[in-house]
Amino acid sequence: MKTLTEGALQRYTQDACRREGIACYKFASPSRRGVPDLMLIYDGRVVFVELKSPTKTGKLSALQHHELTLLTLQGAEVYVIDSYEDADTIINDLRFNARANRHGRPTLRLRPYLSNSSNGKRQNCLHPDSSE
């Protein structure tokens, strides 16, 4: 059974990327808080990933929400994940669709991070029908 912590999800994602030949960087900026946890790079495609606890208790802070919105507005591909399955989905998509998606739309079943839903409320990226 897999451990249900954000740290365990991060280690799992980093190990899976290493096995698949995907560059995976723990993305930390000493001068800027709220940046995504990981930056994944494969075949010219860059994906930012914010990790939340697989127990579904983690929420984006206002600062994280702001930073993810800024990245998204700049055209970056950003995801918020909270499960091992979502990590596998991103990794598999990078491996098999990297070149095709570099300048196109993601093929992931996960929705990219969106700052607002159609009703003006922030939405959870993995579960778009639920509001925070």
Cα separation, 116 vs 30, in Å, equals: 28
**CATH value of 6-101 in 3.40.50.720, 3.40.50.12500, 3.40.1350.10, 2.70.50.60:** 3.40.1350.10
**Side chain identity at 105, as an amino acid letter?**
R
Query: At residue 122, does pLDDT exceed 60?
Result: no
At a CB cut-off of 8 Å and minimum separation 6, what does 72 contact? 78, 112, 113, 114, 115
Condensed to tens digits (0 to 9), the pLDDT of residues 12-66 reads 999 999 999 999 999 788 888 999 999 999 988 999 999 998 888 888 999 999 9
pTM for this prediction: 0.75
Distances (CA, A) of 54 to 48, 58, 97: 18, 8, 26
